[in-house]
């Protein structure tokens, strides 16, 4: 039950961060744009350094929702690229991590690179 509640919170944060990402930068008074960096940081905490007794998602003993966690990593990357590169990605890509955790990173990075490429085309 607790894990499902945690995943529901992560999905809600993902949805808000995703919506904020698509708000044009010139809309400086948009509440979503102001809220998204804090939510992305909360995603980082929930995934990498959750409060006890929870464990980081990459230490899960059960199957993980790859799409959910890939989207979370993507949102952390969008709003906190430095923290993503210095702590999130190295933690997720350790040799001992499961293929599912590494796949989350690959999906997040693939989406990010695609978004950057598309934004430069227009």
Predicted local confidence at residue 20, as pLDDT: 96
Please name which of 52, 63, 92, 53 lies closest in space to residue 76, comparing C-alpha atoms. 92
Tokens for 44, please give them.
Answer: 């980082």
How far out from the chain centre does Cα 105 lie?
9
Over its length of 122 residues, how does the chain's per-residue pLDDT go in tens digits?
456 678 999 999 999 999 999 999 888 889 999 999 999 999 999 999 988 888 999 998 889 999 999 999 999 999 999 999 999 999 999 999 999 999 999 999 999 999 989 888 76
Domain ranges for the chain: 2-121
Predicted local confidence at residue 38, as pLDDT: 97
């Amino acid at each position: 039950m607790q894990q499902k509640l945690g995943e529901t919170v992560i999905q809600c944060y993902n949805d808000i961060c995703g919506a904020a990402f698509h708000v044009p930068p010139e809309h400086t008074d948009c509440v979503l744009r102001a809220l998204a960096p804090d939510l992305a940081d909360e995603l980082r905490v929930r995934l990498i350094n959750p409060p006890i007794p929870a464990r980081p998602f990459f230490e899960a003993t059960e199957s993980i929702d790859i799409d959910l966690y890939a989207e979370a990593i993507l949102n952390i990357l969008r709003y906190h690229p430095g923290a993503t590169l210095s702590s999130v990605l190295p933690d997720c890509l350790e040799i001992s991590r499961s293929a599912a955790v590494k796949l989350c990173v690959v999906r997040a990075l693939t989406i990010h690179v695609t978004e950057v490429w598309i934004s430069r085309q227009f």
